[in-house]
Structure 1
Amino acid sequence: MLQVRNLDLSYGDAQALDGVSLDVPAGAIVAIVGANGAGKTSLIRTIAGMLRPSRGEILWKGRDIAGQPSHVVCDLGVGQVAEGRQVFPTLSVRENLLMGSMLARGRARRAANLERMFAMFPRLADRHAQLAGTLSGGEQQMLAIARCLMGEPELVMFDEPSLGLSPAMVQQVLGAVVELNRAGLTCVLVEQNVAVSLRLASRAYVLENGRVTLSGAGRDLLEDDRVRQAYLGL
């Protein structure tokens, strides 16, 4: 579904991505792991059209979308749940969700999708009139996921969805990702909890200093001594 080929990205003289290549098959959960500053968020933002690469291809169903504006990428079916949630704090929960359906692909089924999100996340239904900025961190993460789904994406990139959440809320949020995947959504997961993300992922890539240094089945990488020493403290 998504192929990245030899992707380079620089911030001025600093190279953030160096020849990154990866594949995301339809229906998979693909994890991208690495230390802070490894280039994970830069990769997600480049795929999403927020950053323009200096070299390489981003193939969405065979079409090169590298350098396309983010609204074009979204309307093709590539969604993003950004790090830090980034809800609209002065809008209500319902208004935030409706903002997610502004894309052309999400307008026709706006009402049905709104009901679907409230069924999927009952806490959002209970707080539909509440300002998003007054929600807890976990509730805001649920809202960010639901808002993205209002645009009917076929693939969603989750950037640190459990960051700053309580253990109980982490379980709920990552459980929602698993359930969405079981329902057919293709997922790219950038997650600080390396052990959990590798257990969930059918395939995973390790980024170090902007380069892919390891790749393979998630559970295979979980048993790799280099991964265990670098990221799991074992």
Structure 2
Amino acid sequence: MLTVTDLDLFYGDAQALDGVSLTVRAGTTTAIVGANGAGKTSLIRTIAGILRPSGGSIRLGEREIAGLPSHTVCNLGIGQVAEGRQIFPSLSVRENLEMGAVIPRARADAARTYDRVLALFPRLEERLGQAAGTLSGGEQQMLAIGRCLMGKPDLIMFDEPSLGLAPALVQELFRTVRTLAAEGMTIILVEQNVAASLKLASHAYVLENGRIVLSGSGAALLDDPAVKQAYLGL
């Protein structure tokens, strides 16, 4: 579904991504793990069209999307749940969800998608008129996911979705990711909880200093001695 080949990204003279190549198959969950500063968020933002690569290719199916503006990438079916949630705090929950459906691909099915989101997150239905900025951290993350789903994505990229959440809410979050995966959603998961993300993932990549240094099934990397030592404290 998504193929990244020899992707390079620079911030000024500093190279953030160095020849990154990966493949994401339709209907699978792919984890990208690595330490802080490894380039995970840079990779997500480059795929999303927020950052412009200096070299390499990003193909969605047969279409080259590297360098396209983010609204175009979004309308082609790539959604992003950004690190830090990035909701509109002064808008209500309902208005935030409606904002997710403004892209052309989402408009025709907006009412049906809205019902689906509220079924997935009943707590949001209880707070539709509430300002999003007054929600708890867990509720804000639900809203961020719900707003992304309103855009009718074929692929969702999660960037550190459990960051700052209480343990019970983290488990709820991963249940949501599993539900979406079971429904056939293609998922890219960047997550600080390496063990949980590798358990969810059919395939995974380890990113270090802007380069892919390991790849394999989630189960294989979970059992890899180097991964255990570097990321799991084992």
Write the distance in 2 (CA, Å) between the matches of 1:139 and 1:199: 24
Matches within 5 A, 1:180-195: 180-195=180-195
Q: Which residue of 2 aligns with 1:141?
A: 141
CA distance in 1, matches of 2:113, 2:97: 9
Structure 2: where are the runs of 5+ without partners? none
What's the counterpart of residue 109 of structure 2? 109
Q: State how far apart, in whole Å, the 1-side matches of 2:145 and 2:69 are.
A: 21
3-state SS, counterpart of residue 86 of structure 1: coil
- When normalised by structure 2's length, the TM-score is 0.99
Q: In structure 1, how many angstroms separate the alpha carbons of the residues matched to 2:188 and 2:80?
A: 9
Confirm whether residue 213 of structure 1 aligns to residue 213 of structure 2.
yes
CA RMSD after TM alignment: 0.5
Corresponding residue number in structure 2 for 1:30:
30
Instruction: Supply the distance in 2 between the matched residues of 1:213 and 1:102 (Cα, whole angstroms).
Output: 39
SS of the aligned residue for 2:226 comes to: helix
Show the counterpart of 1:67.
67
Cα distance in 1, alignment partners of residues 162 and 46 from structure 2: 21
After superposition, give the CA deviation of every residue in 1:206-227 in whole Å (9 maximum; x if it has no partner). 0000000000000100111100
- Counterpart of 1:61, as a letter, is G
CA distance in 2, matches of 1:221, 1:113: 35
Which residue of the partner structure matches residue 9 of structure 1?
9
Q: Which amino acid aligns with 2:116?
A: R
**Deviation of the 1:62 alpha carbon:** 1.5
Residue in structure 1 matched with residue 177 of structure 2 by the alignment: 177
AA at the equivalent of 2:32? I
Query: How many angstroms apart in 1 are the aligned matches of 2:110 and 2:128?
Result: 15
Give the AA of the match of 2:120.
Answer: M
Number of the residue aligned with 1:88: 88
- Mapped partners of 1:67, 1:125: distance in 2: 37
How much does 1:109 deviate? 1.1
Q: In structure 2, the residue corresponding to 1:59 is in which secondary structure?
A: strand
Listed as ranges, the matches of 1:52-63 within 5 Å are: 52-63=52-63
C-alpha separation between the residues in 1 aligned to 2:109 and 2:203? 32
**Residues in 2 aligned to 1:21 and 1:32: alpha-carbon distance in whole angstroms:** 12
Alignment correspondent of 2:161:
161
1:159-179 per-residue CA deviation (whole Å, 9 max, x = no partner) reads 000000011100111110110
Distance across 1 between alignment mates of 2:136 and 2:162:
13
Q: Which residue of 2 aligns with 1:46?
A: 46
Q: Tell me the equivalent position of 2:128.
A: 128
Q: Equivalents in 2 of 1:226, 1:62: separation in Å?
A: 35
In structure 2, distance between residues paired with 1:110 and 1:25: 26
Please give the per-residue CA displacement for 1:184-210, whole angstroms capped at 9, x wherever unaligned: 100000000001101110000000000
The answer for unaligned runs of 5 or more in structure 1 is none
**Could you state the TM-score of these two structures normalised by the residue count of structure 1?**
0.99
Specify the code of the residue in structure 2 equivalent to 1:196: A
Give the number of equivalent residue pairs: 234
Deviation at 1:78, TM superposition (A): 0.4
SS at match of 1:145: helix
Secondary structure, aligned partner of 2:6 = strand
Shift of 1:114: 1.1
Matched residue SS, 1:45? helix
